[in-house]
């Protein structure tokens, strides 16, 4: 089979895969995750490097904005951590400057993005991960990524109204998915 036919076949398979997953929501290639470059990542000019990693991986950007998050929004976002001793410091840190809020889409994007981020504590993160390469302390760990598909759905609806998310086709989809 020539490259053109293979590409058309890949595209057909992808359309079928997408049709299947659209019925069941954000699963398969339509899975989405919420990623935020935290205020330290923005101040340290890491936004471009971080976006580049997700783009190069093959994920699709469907939402992006620079936002000064309110304390109310952040308290809601980190509600599960409200009883932790570092909670108020975390809210102060996260509201200390703008964050770059993003939604990325693709197959297994939630799990894969967490691997790309590294561990919560940069000291435990391997070189090659974002936290392994760009930061030192847990309280300044430059990036957030949803930890499950259900958290991703909750966080995306918290940070992005539906009309700020774009539906578009990657022109190179058939070279990313078979």
Residue 77: active-site member: no
The first and second tokens of residue 174, run together, are 């058939």
The first and second tokens of residue 96, run together, are 């200390």
Query: Between residue 51 and residue 110, which ones bind ligand ATP under the rule CB under 6 A?
Result: 81, 86, 90
> How many C-alpha atoms does 169 have within 13 Å on its Cβ side?
10
33: which strand partners? Answer: 104
* Closest to ligand ATP by CB, 62 or 130: 130
* Closest to ligand ATP by CB, 40 or 177: 40
Whether 34 and 145 have beta carbons less than 8 Å apart is answered as: yes
d(CA 128, CA 1): 37
* Closest to ligand ATP by CB, 3 or 127: 127
Query: Between residue 2 and residue 61, which ones bind ligand ATP under the rule CB under 6 A?
Result: none
150 in contact with ligand ATP (CB under 6 A): no
Q: Which residue has the tokens 């290639």?
A: 29
Can you give the binding site for ligand ATP, defined by CB under 6 A?
81, 86, 90, 120, 138-139, 141, 144-145, 147
Active-site residues: which are they? 144
């Amino acid at each position: 089979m020539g490259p053109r036919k293979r590409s058309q076949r890949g595209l057909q398979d992808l359309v079928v895969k997408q049709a299947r997953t659209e019925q069941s929501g954000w699963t398969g290639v339509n899975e989405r995750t919420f990623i935020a470059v935290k205020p330290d990542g923005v101040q340290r000019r890491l936004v471009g490097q971080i976006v580049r990693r997700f783009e190069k991986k093959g994920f699709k950007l469907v939402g992006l904005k620079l936002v000064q998050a309110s304390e109310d929004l952040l308290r809601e976002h980190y509600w599960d951590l409200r009883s932790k001793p570092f909670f108020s410091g975390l809210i102060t840190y996260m509201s200390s400057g703008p964050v770059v809020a993003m939604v990325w889409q693709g197959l297994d994007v939630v799990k894969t993005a967490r691997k790309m981020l590294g561990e919560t504590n940069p000291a435990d993160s391997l070189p090659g991960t974002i936290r392994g390469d760009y930061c030192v302390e847990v309280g300044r760990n430059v990036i957030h990524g949803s930890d499950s598909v259900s958290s991703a759905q909750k966080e995306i609806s918290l940070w992005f109204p539906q009309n700020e998310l774009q539906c578009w086709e990657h022109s190179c989809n058939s070279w990313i998915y078979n």
